[in-house]
Structure 1
Amino acid sequence: MNDALKAMASGLAGAVVLTMVHESLRRFVPNAPRMDVLGMRSIEKLMTKADAEPPQDKDELHTWALAGDVLSNSLYYSLAGTGKSAWWRGAALGAAAGVGAVLLPGPLGLGEEPSNKTTKTQVMTVGYYLLGGLVAAALGYALSDKDKD
C-alpha cells in the first residue's frame, strides 16, 4: 500500500472515530456538541443558495450531514500522513479543526449553540476533533515504514 492510500485510510479512521464519538455522546451527555446540527444547517444553506431543494425529511438530512462529515473529515485528517511526523500533524490538525468548529459557525451564519453552548461544549468540541486527529496519526504511524520520515 502506498503512502497516499495509508494516509487516506488513517484519515478515514480519524473521521469515523470522531463521528462515532459525536453521535454517541450527544445522546447521553448534556450540552454535548451537536456537529450534526451544524452539518444539516450547512447542507440546507448551500443547497438553498444553489437553488436546489434540501431534503425535507430530517432523518435523510441527518444522514447526508453524517456522510458529508465523514467524507470531509477523512480528507482533512488524511493530511496527517504517515511516519513519525504524523503525530504532530494529526495533533495540530485536530486542535485546529476543534478551535475552528467552536469559532467559525457563528460568523458563517450557522449558529453558535451547537458547538459553543457552554464552556463544557467548547472543550468537548476541541477534544473530539483532537481525538480524531490523534487516531489518524496513530494509524498513519502504524501503517508507515518506521525507517522513513
Structure 2
Amino acid sequence: MTNINKTILQSLGSGLAGACALTALHETARQFISDAPRADILGMRAIKKVMEVADEEPPADDELHDWALGGDIVSNALYYSLIGLAKPKDALVTGAALGLAAGVGAVGLPGPMGLGTAPSSRTTATAAMTIGWYLLGGLVTAGAYTWLKRK
C-alpha cells in the first residue's frame, strides 16, 4: 500500500472513530438529559428540506431518524478526517480545532439554514454541550489518528 493510501485510510478511520463517538454520545445523552443537543432532529429537518425541494416524500420519522444518524456519521467522519492534513505531532491541536469549529458551527448555523435553533442551542447548557461534544469528537479523532500513525 502506498503511503498516500495509508494516510487516507488512517485519516478516514480516525474521522470515523470521532464521528461514532459523537453520535453515540448524542444518542445516549438525549435519553437521559433534558437539555441535551438533538443533532438527530437537525439531521431529520435537513433531509426533509432537501427531499421537499426535490419534490420527494420524506420517509416516516423512524426511518428518517435512521437516515439522519447515518448522515451524521458519514458527514462528521469526512469532516473529522481532515485531521490527515496535520502532522501527527499536531494531531491533538488539530483535532481540538476541528471539534471546536464544528461545535460552534452546530450552534450558530442551523438557524440561518432554516433548521431552527432549539436542537443545538435552546439553553446555554444545550449550546455548551453541543460545543463540548463536538470537541470531544475531535479529540477522539486526534487520539485515533495518533494511534494509527504509530502502527
TM-score range, shorter-chain basis? over 0.9
Equivalence for 1:8:
12
Equivalence for 1:21:
25
Are residues 1:63 and 2:57 paired?
no
**CA displacement 1:70-114 (0-9 Å, x = unmatched):** 000000000012611121111111000000000011111000000
Structure 1 moving runs of 4+ over 3 Å = none
Equivalence for 1:96:
101
Equivalence for 2:82:
79
Bigger mean CA offset, 83-92 vs 96-105: 83-92
RMSD of aligned alpha carbons: 1.3
Bigger mean CA offset, 45-54 vs 95-104: 45-54
**For residues 7 and 26 of structure 1, what CA distance do their matches in structure 2 show?**
29
Segments of 5+ residues of structure 1 without an aligned counterpart are: none
Are residues 1:37 and 2:41 paired?
yes
Aligned residues: 145
TM-score (norm. length: structure 1): 0.94
Identity of aligned residues (%): 59
**For residues 47 and 87 of structure 1, what CA distance do their matches in structure 2 show?**
38
Q: Do 1:83 and 1:145's aligned partners in 2 also have CA atoms closer than 8 Å?
A: no
TM-score (norm. length: structure 2): 0.93
Segments of 5+ residues of structure 2 without an aligned counterpart are: none
**For residues 100 and 15 of structure 1, what CA distance do their matches in structure 2 show?**
16
**For residues 8 and 141 of structure 1, what CA distance do their matches in structure 2 show?**
13
**For residues 12 and 84 of structure 1, what CA distance do their matches in structure 2 show?**
20
Within the candidate set 83, 108, 111, 1:106 is matched to 111
Residue 67 of structure 1 aligns with an amino acid whose one-letter code is: G
Structure 1 position 32, deviation (Å) = 0.5
Structure 1 position 145, deviation (Å) = 4.1
Are residues 1:143 and 2:117 paired?
no
Q: Do 1:80 and 1:87's aligned partners in 2 also have CA atoms closer than 8 Å?
A: no
